[in-house]
Structure formats: structure tokens, C-alpha cells
Amino acid sequence: MHDYIIEAKDVSFSYPASENEKVLVLDKINIKIERGSFVAVLGHNGSGKSTFAKICNMILQPTEGKMKICGKDASGDMTDEDILNIRKSIAMVFQNPDNQIVATVVEEDVAFGPENLGVPTDEIHKRVDMALEAVKMSEYKKHAPHQLSGGQKQRIAIAGAIAMLPECIIFDESTAMLDPNGRNDVMAIIEKLHRENGLTVIFITHYMEEAAKADRVLVMDAGKIKLDGTPREVFSHVNELYEYGLDVPQSTKLIDELEKENMKFSKTVLFPEEATDEISRALEGNK
Ligand SMILES: Nc1ncnc2c1ncn2[C@@H]1O[C@H](COP(=O)(O)OP(=O)(O)O)[C@@H](O)[C@H]1O
Ligand SMILES: [Mg+2]
């Protein structure tokens, strides 16, 4: 039995451009996301990734099609209770950590989400401690968020999402503004939450190396889902990805270039260790 947290059937979305003109941003999206999965979403700027994320979190509703979130129909009229339940289940972390800090002390910032959900005070304290522990920021509990580095601020934003005890967190380019160290730290925390707590992760990114670590990769272009599969399946479409203005992981690219020079490999590679193995094997074969 499949257990889906998100089910989109022919979901379209248009923004009003002027009084009688609309811009189609999502064009008949069909997608089911399984509970507990780690799904990366790739796509050029303007392809509709953030709009799709906002539909998954009920910030927007589809203009056409059927959307089910946590098993509830989310495409028509909904009760406040249904909306609150979805907000409890699906949290979002955005790109710019500075826009997500709302309080002047770290612990208050992390408490903001659960407070809005009406969680009792002593329970909030426990959740804040747990969430700060999860992002390795406990010692900064009493600090001022604006004095932290970008990576640390983003970890606080993630702690705020964790404190809501959601089933799913959508990361909308949450690593984009971080330096490589900050990015690695944040990625490691997300992978751990997925692995150890069964968190469903929807991970929008421009970094192909990050997408390679997901269970599944979706590729969007002009409001449509063009590719959907494991990272190995999706990144085997090197030329198609280039057409969408995207890239492939460095190791995938290296092997692809060597193939053009007539070297023979047995599979699409994603990671440096795999590339080393494949190249040694190919060279052995040539002896
Ligand atoms: N509030 C808005 N009003 C009108 N058009 C919008 C709005 N937000 C986004 N768009 C347009 O919708 C398209 C998709 O945007 P978005 O979902 O943000 O894409 P992505 O996250 O992939 O960059 C873009 O062409 C963008 O200009
Ligand atoms: Mg976006």
C-alpha cells in the first residue's frame, strides 16, 4: 500500500497578469509524493517550483485540478481546522534566512511556529530544546539571531520548522545563500532528519550534487514536470537537462565527456568515488 502525503492530479495554477489576462505557471502537474521520501526538485528560474511548493503548503490553491494533502482534498473550500492541520503537517523553509527570523532571541524565534499552532507553553519549551539540539545550535539559545552566520541562521529557521513537529518540510532553495560549509552542515541535518526521524523532505535546489542524494528527482520546465525518477535515471538525461538550462553532477559530467571520447562505462555515475571506480574499470578493460 502506498502512503502519499501529496497527490496532485492535473493541477494547474495561473497568476492574474492583468484584469482579463492570466499567466499559466503550473500546467497540469501530476505527482504523488510518498510519506517518508526525499524528493529533490530541479528547474530553471521561473519554471514553477516555488509555486508548486506553495500549493503543497496551502499558501496557494490550484486554479484547476485536484490536490490532496495529507489525504484531505485541498483544491476546494476548506475548513479552518483542515488548513491548520495541513500547516501543522507541512512546514516550509525559504531561501533567505534573514527574512525568516522574527524574534530577537534564538529560542523565541524557534518558538514562534509552535506558538502560532497553539501548542501549550511547557510543551513549547521542550520542542525548542529538541529542535535546537537537532540543528546543533543549543548553545546559541539565548543569542541574538542577527549576530549569527548565514548557515547558523538557516539552521535556526530549520529548528523553527522542526519545532512544529511536521511530517514534511519543504526546503525552497534553503541552501542557496550559504557558503559551502554552511551548505554541507544544513544538508547533513536534513539528511539525518529524513533518515532517523522519517521526515518527508521536498528539497528544491540548484545544486545537482545535493539532488543526487535524494531518493527521487523531479525536473520542472515551464510549469510542467519533464523528468521524474531516481537520481541515476534523471541524470542519465544529460543533454535534455542542458536544454532545460540545468546541469548534472560533476562526476556525471566527467563520465559523459569521456564517453564522447569513446570510453565505455557500465552506468551513469553520480559521485566522485563511482567515477573513480568506473574509470579504473574502463582503463583495465583497455589493457
Ligand atoms: N505573485 C506573482 N504574481 C505573478 N506572477 C508570479 C508571481 N509569483 C511568481 N510568478 C511567476 O510565475 C512563474 C513561476 O514562478 P516560481 O514558481 O517562483 O518559479 P521558480 O520557483 O521555479 O523560480 C514565473 O514566471 C514568475 O514570474
Ligand atoms: Mg523559486
Which residues are registered as beta bridge partners of 156? Answer: none
In this prediction, residue 287 carries a pLDDT of: 63
The mean per-residue pLDDT over the stretch 271-283 comes to: 94
Whether the model clears a pTM of 0.85, i.e. scores above it, the answer is yes
Work out the burial of residue 8: count CB atoms within 10 Å of its CB; fewer than 13 is exposed, 13-18 middle, 19 or more buried: buried
Give the up-direction half-sphere exposure of residue 130: CA atoms within 13 A in the CB hemisphere: 14
Q: What CATH number did the domain enclosing 221 receive?
A: 3.40.50.300
Handedness of CA 161, 39, 247, 192 (dihedral sign): positive
**Is residue 277 in a domain?**
no
Inform me whether the pLDDT recorded for 178 exceeds 90. no
In this prediction, residue 20 carries a pLDDT of: 87
**Is residue 260 in a domain?**
no
- Long-range contacts at 75-84 (CB < 8 A, ≥ 24 apart): 75/11, 83/58, 84/117
Query: Each residue of 14-55: pLDDT tens digit?
Result: 998 888 899 999 999 999 999 999 999 999 999 999 999 999
Residues in the chain: 287
**Is residue 207 in a domain?**
yes
Query: Each residue of 102-141: pLDDT tens digit?
Result: 999 999 999 999 999 889 999 999 999 999 999 999 999 9
Query: Nearest ligand, CA of residue 42?
Result: 1
**Is residue 66 in a domain?**
no
**Is residue 279 in a domain?**
no
The mean per-residue pLDDT over the stretch 59-71 comes to: 95
Ligand 1 neighbour 47 (Cβ under 6 A): yes
The per-residue pLDDT of the chain, averaged, comes to 94
Inform me whether the pLDDT recorded for 4 exceeds 90. yes
**Is residue 142 in a domain?**
yes
- CA triple 190-12-87, angle to 5 deg: 40
Shortest-distance atom of ligand 1 to CA 17 = 4
For residue 23, which phi and psi values (nearest 5 degrees)? Answer: -110, 120
Inform me whether the pLDDT recorded for 286 exceeds 90. no
Handedness of CA 92, 172, 211, 23 (dihedral sign): positive
> What is the C-alpha separation between 121 and 115, in angstroms, rounded?
8
Query: Each residue of 204-217: pLDDT tens digit?
Result: 999 999 999 999 99
- Residue 25 CA to ligand 1 center (angstroms) comes to 7
- With both helix axes pointing from N to C terminus, report the angle between 106-116 and 150-162 in degrees, rounded to the nearest 10: 30
**Is residue 1 in a domain?**
no
Ligand 1 neighbour 223 (Cβ under 6 A): no
**Is residue 172 in a domain?**
yes
Please count the structural domains in the chain: 1
Q: Which range marks the domain in which residue 151 is found? A: 36-59+79-229
Shortest-distance atom of ligand 1 to CA 44 = 22
